[in-house]
A and B are shown apart, each in its own frame.
Chain A
Amino acid sequence: MADADDRYNWQPLIDDLTGRRGTALAMGGAERVQRQRDLGKLPVRERLELFVDPGTFVEYGQLADSMDPALAAKGPMAADGCITGIGDVDGRRVAIAAYDFTVMAGSMGAVNEAKVTRLRELVLRQRIPLVWLLDSAGARVGSGTGSTFAGAGALFREQVVLSGVVPQVGAMLGHCAAGTAYIPALTDFVPMVSGVASMALAGRHLVKAATGEDVTEEEMGGAEVHTRISGVADLAVGDDAECLTAVRRFLSFLPSNNTEPAPLRPTDDPIDRRATELYDIVPTAPRRAYDVKKVITAIVDDGDFFEIKPDWARNLVVGFAHFGGESVGIVANQPKVLGGALDVNAADKAARFISLCDAYGIPLVYLHDVPGFVVGTVVEKQGIIRHGAKMLFATSDATVPKISVVLRKSYGAGYFVMNGMGYECDYLVAWPTAEIAVMGPDGVVNIAFRKELEAVPEGPERDARRIELAEMIRANIDPYVAAGHAQVDDIIDPADTRAAVIAGLRANRSKQVSRPWRKHGVLPV
């Protein structure tokens, strides 16, 4: 009988496995986990609990270790500092790579890189979104660091292969440098926890050594910098939980991949609801500013608008909403900031958002109120022509249904980049206040009538003639002239804007565009 017992002796093996699992689940140990909490951050496994639907997470490589002889003395490296797996988020499968700052500062080592590479392969086979929870010092730098770097870097190329195939999110939950700062740069949505997260090509110690500059991570690459000044990140959030909620919300507007439709969100909001509050929101006086976000919330389903990059390039508003249950991307000029004029950052912001929506088959709705691109030496030195071309490119390239509503002004190239009739616009409606023209009346007078004006003696006589000419030209800037030439599809009562947008989307839902064969267009970046 003793022989038989030896042959069925499972318990020590199960105990050993359970012990190893316990070590992995304990992350970097009680002390480091407490330090993580003290920094205002949740331990990585609690982040996953918050993010993933209960009981759905399938972890890959939980028992991974660094396998680095140089680190053997430090004991097991739980999951090698990065948890990978697939779980449901609001009932839809999502792949997640979550770096664990309590293990070697969440640094990217050979084993966790292999785990993430496997995850990217699964993502490509399953065609499901990839979410990165980033809290990582970047590459694992140690005594063995040297020219084996020559073989590294495929992760970014693979991310680029995934771009436009499956949505990617880079959630910034801690200080990230170099590698883990480029990962989010190649994703489609980057929320950042204020006062906690940072992203920079180099951390402060490396910066000090390289240039002598003495700065904090927060000053260099905190949420304040990246959501207000650089435009690298999309949204500043208060804490880990808020960040994960933002990721969930972002994903809710997108399909799981570029061959599936975005999820519908049923609503009780009537598709023909009249928005009479618009009469009080938008002044008929063309020079007066107003907040276009109030227009957006007045017309979309349930007043629910998810703005992307709300604190950067505020002269242009972009974000997701639903119209009649359908997920839609909105691009709107913001008269409250810079009069709604487009500058380099606004054009950049628009181009990227339009490209995102087009990649995932999400229709675009443009709300025009734009005096044009900002002109003058400051913006020319910033390369506004090159940046403006990006927006022209993105709008031209987009083959999703594209609807335009001209609220008031839409001048010059501003009208083109905002999806004018010449841009495969599928339904273009204008309010009675619409002014569509190459430029405003004063501009025309100064160019076309300069010689005539100079012939008139300077003073009241010339001023009177100038006003007379401007009025004459203004008479031609009339939406009913455009409608008369059938260059706009309809003039609408502003209160009926919601109904018009939904009608336009439904009339054009089978849109197909065939382009001549090419490898790809050349981005004017």
Chain B
Amino acid sequence: MAEVRAEITANVWQVRVEVGQTVDEGDELVILESMKMEIPVEAPCSGTVSAIHVAPDSQVTEGDLVATITPAGA
């Protein structure tokens, strides 16, 4: 399991993937909004989205879990 965490305190602007979806390393999972910038949260590895822990318009703090990925082949 790869845990994807927020690197900055932010609003969740968009969730770009669904649970069960296959993603490649570097794909945008969620787009946060902070410091007046769109901050993409990218998949750290290729695999399947096993959980999304945030919803649009919610708030995350640095270090919060954003999504969980089951790595390909795991």
Contact = CB atoms under 8 A, between A and B. Distances in A.
Interface of A: 286-289, 335-341, 371-372, 374-376, 378, 440, 442
Contacts of B37: 287, 289, 335, 338-341, 371
B40 A336 contact: yes
Contact of A371 (B9, B35, B62): B35
Tell me if B's interface is mostly helix, strand, loop or mixed: loop
Q: Name, among B35, B37, B39, the residue most crowded by chain A CB atoms within 10 Å (CB to CB).
A: B35
> 7 tightest A-B contacts by CB?
A339-B37, A371-B35, A341-B35, A339-B35, A287-B38, A339-B39, A378-B62
A336 B34 CA distance: 13
Main secondary structure of the interface of A (DSSP, over half): loop
Given A335-B37, A378-B61, 10 more contacts: A288-B38, A289-B39, A339-B8, A339-B34, A339-B38, A341-B37, A371-B35, A371-B37, A372-B35, A378-B9
Residue from B8, B36, B40, B61 with most neighbouring chain A CB atoms (10 Å): B36
A338 B35 contact: yes
A409 B36 CA distance: 10
Nearest to A377: B9
Nearest to B42: A336
Nearest to A343: B8
17 contacts: A287-B36, A287-B37, A289-B37, A289-B39, A289-B40, A336-B40, A337-B7, A338-B34, A338-B37, A338-B39, A339-B35, A339-B39, A340-B37, A341-B8, A341-B37, A376-B9, A442-B36
A453 to B, nearest CB: 18
Contacts of A374: 8, 35
Contacts of A287: 36-38
A340 B35 CA distance: 9
B25 to A, nearest CB: 15
Contacts of B7: 337-338
Contacts of A376: 9
A313 B8 CA distance: 13
Contacts of B36: 286-287, 339, 371, 440, 442
Contacts of A341: 8, 34-35, 37
A68 B35 CA distance: 62
Interface string B49-74: 00000000000011000000000000
Given A378-B61, A378-B62, A289 B8 contact: no
B62 to A, nearest CB: 5
Interface string B18-42: 0000000000000000111111100
A472 B72 CA distance: 51
A372 B8 CA distance: 14
Nearest to A314: B7
Nearest to B28: A289
Most buried by A among B8, B34, B40: B8
Contacts of A336: 40
Contacts of A340: 37
A336 B7 CA distance: 12
Contacts of B9: 376, 378
Contacts of B39: 289, 338-339
A336 B40 CA distance: 7
A374 B61 CA distance: 13
A285 to B, nearest CB: 9
User: Which of A288, A289, A372 is the most central at the interface, judged by chain B CB atoms within 10 Å of its CB?
Assistant: A289
